[in-house]
Chain A
Amino acid sequence: MPNTSRNDDRIEAKFGELRGLREGALVAYLTGGDPDPKTFLANSTALIEGGADIVEIGIPFSDPIADGPVIQASSMRALSNGTTPLGILNMIRELSTQFPVPFVVLSYYNPILAMGLDRFLQKARESGVDGIVVPDLPVEESEEFRNLSLKHNVDNIYLAAPNTSRTRLRTVLDKSKGFLYLVSLYGVTGPRDSLSPQALEAVRAVKSLARGKIPVSAGFGISQPEHVSAVIQSGADGAIVGSALVRIVGNHLDDPSEAETQLKKTVQSLKEATRPSSN
């Protein structure tokens, strides 16, 4: 069994460690295999060296309904290079054997179903995946998947949105493991110039119900250090940045080493914004 050295509940441990430092978590996202496996591995390493606390890797899907143009384009780049879910899990294995940072996988449900729920989760765990987000699998449809995630020690990370009712919120807070992924706006993923009007209110509402039982990380439309510090100051335990990083990859397809440099620099400044001194 590979990765037996990787402990369980590493996401929880990471949030605990950051709490001790009075820092928020920076969750940094890239689309797996984008634009090609080698560049992707180098870019992921840049995220980690830049100080990402948790690395989230997307498995590209042909029909990503929760994603805006930036991640759609990255998915198409990765798929046109023949990227497969298993291929991405193998890339994560390469990273997880080198770096102690927790890894989260984001995948739409169909590629998981195609591999088989049990097999997917087993492979994920063997590759060093600590948590999984399935954006089109709400809690009502996920009983079997959740049970298997528990069995394989992969944290099943549920999502909440600004319009999630309090009753549902209690359920997802109760069932989520690792952290709760708070969608901070009405819309799809993608960088925005300013934080959505609902974001901070949503963070406070969810945190008041979470009562410290599970960390809450806010994502969607969070692209700049000011957004990160604002959600952390409003009580979020973490900030998730995706499209802003994926855009860097897309903007430097001809110059991958510049992408690495930019990614590292950007992650450094985003991470800085999770620290109390940043205000």
Chain B
Amino acid sequence: MKKHAEPRTYSKPGKFGKYGGQYVPETLMEPLRALEEAYNRFSRDPSFKKELAGLLDDFAGRPTPLYLASNLTGHVGGARVYLKREDLLHGGAHKINNTLGQALLAKKMGKRRIIAETGAGQHGVATAMACAALGLRAEVYMGSEDMDRQRLNVYRMKMLGAKVHPVESGSKTLKDAINEALRDWVTNVQDTYYLLGSVVGPHPYPTMVRDFQSVIGKEARKQILQQEGRLPKAVVACVGGGSNSIGIFHSFLDDLDVDLYGIEAGGESLSPGQNAAPLVAGREGVLHGMMTYVLQDEVGQVQATRSISAGLDYPGVGPEHAFLMTAERAKYVTVSDEGALEAFKNLSQLEGIMPALESAHAISYTMKLARSLGTRDSIIVNLSGRGDKDVEIVAKHLPQ
């Protein structure tokens, strides 16, 4: 990993090197401009910041602990492993950091109708929670295939007052849910706010969502300095769209001695259609309004993805990750379905903590990395969500 990278030499707002941008239909250019302007204004407004901080603390449960996983550390025999406990947040995942920020922004902008996409349902649930708390109307697009796989989350969204629209187009998963949400937004731009769930899509979303999620890294950096007296050797997080990883990476970007590892879903294998690892197995392209790395065939059609964890099951990735990879500031690797399942079991049994299958990918790599480091080193892994939602899937694969 490069030690002298200039990770923040972004060429202009909304661009991360050549990645990012606004590759959208003309009708969305004006609402994106209005969104950027509103975000720039409110994100500097002390009363907005105070209100959001209050919600994050008292509604969502921040700050989250940085927990030394001593049993896991002992088991692995190497660097000390710290878990950033985003799994303890309201809703069970880091998603709420972003939905509270954007829902509050939407409210300030005078928008009352909120639309969102969801894959596994975690962002949909977090959107429904934030909207209920702030008195906004939520409508969530979800692939019909995902609705079958994640029935419990569909029920949670409905219970929280959200309307769930099944998406029957394309592969009927997250990518198609984003397509459908964009189509809704193009149609209802005047009164609708699109609450995107990750650091993907057209500018300003990758920047705005990163800012809302960067609270994770800000806390973690302060906590590790308090607990260890020095910075960790590495920070590890899973990457689907990439919001929890960018959120924890961001505060460490200038700490060039801290290695950053993003873990993509290796699925069954790295063959086409068998994984969800655009940075490792894809190439540059444009999808959902951004220039980034995309899993696609030779003629530019977006490929189907596969991962045991629905939250990583996406053929694109946040443009800032594409930049951090090509600038060699962060390293991106894969962990397979099997590796994630093994880590799910390990963390559950060693620490009494069931990780989300997404986060289990990061746990798996962390265990490998910890083994290769000395006992004086430490690693922070972002435990981005809890695993209750995945118990059924895990039970199917790990019969015991």
Contacts and interface: CB of A to CB of B under 8 A. Distances in A.
Interface of A: 61-66, 68-69, 72, 76, 79, 84-86, 108-115, 135-138, 140-141, 158-165, 168, 172, 183, 186-188
B186 A188 contact: yes
Given A137-B23, A165-B30, A186-B188, A110 B300 contact: yes
Interface stretch (B120-128, B147-155, B288-296): B288-296
A187 B186 contact: yes
B170 interface: yes
B23 A109 contact: yes
A63 B29 contact: no
A163 B23 contact: no
Contacts of B188: 186
15 contacts: A65-B24, A65-B288, A66-B25, A72-B169, A108-B286, A113-B285, A114-B296, A114-B299, A115-B299, A162-B27, A168-B29, A183-B27, A186-B186, A187-B183, A188-B186
Nearest to B294: A110
A114 B25 contact: no
A269 B23 CA distance: 36
Nearest to A84: B299
Contacts of B288: 63, 65
A158 B187 CA distance: 20
B87 to A, nearest CB: 32
A164 B300 contact: no
B119 to A, nearest CB: 15
A61 B301 contact: yes
Contact of A111 (B179, B186, B299): B299
Interface in B1-47: 21-27, 29-31
B187 A186 contact: yes
- Most chain B Cβ neighbours within 10 Å, of A65, A160, A186, A188: A65
A114 B298 contact: yes
Given A72-B170, A110-B287, 8 more contacts: A65-B25, A65-B183, A108-B286, A110-B300, A163-B30, A164-B29, A187-B187, A188-B187
Interface string B65-92: 0000000000000000000000000000
Given A136-B24, A159-B25, A164-B30, A186 B190 contact: yes
B143 to A, nearest CB: 13
A84 B284 CA distance: 19
B302 interface: yes
The SS class assigned to the B binding surface is mixed
A110 B187 contact: no
Contacts of B294: 110
A85 B186 CA distance: 26
A63 B299 contact: no
Contacts of B31: 163
- Most chain A Cβ neighbours within 10 Å, of B25, B30, B284: B25
B329 interface: no
Interface in B116-174: 169-170
A137 B284 CA distance: 16
B289 A136 contact: yes
B361 interface: no
A86 B285 CA distance: 18
Contacts of B394: none
A112 B300 CA distance: 8
Contacts of A84: 299
Nearest to B283: A114
B182 interface: yes
B256 interface: no
A158 B29 CA distance: 13
Interface in B162-210: 169-170, 175-176, 179, 182-183, 186-190
A48 to B, nearest CB: 27
A186 B189 contact: yes
Contacts of A86: 299
Contacts of B296: 110, 114
A68 B189 contact: no
Nearest to A134: B23
Contacts of A186: 27, 186-190
Nearest to A61: B301
- Most chain A Cβ neighbours within 10 Å, of B27, B31, B187, B289: B27
Contacts of B169: 69, 72
B396 to A, nearest CB: 29
Contacts of A114: 285, 296, 298-300
Nearest to A114: B300
A183 B300 CA distance: 25
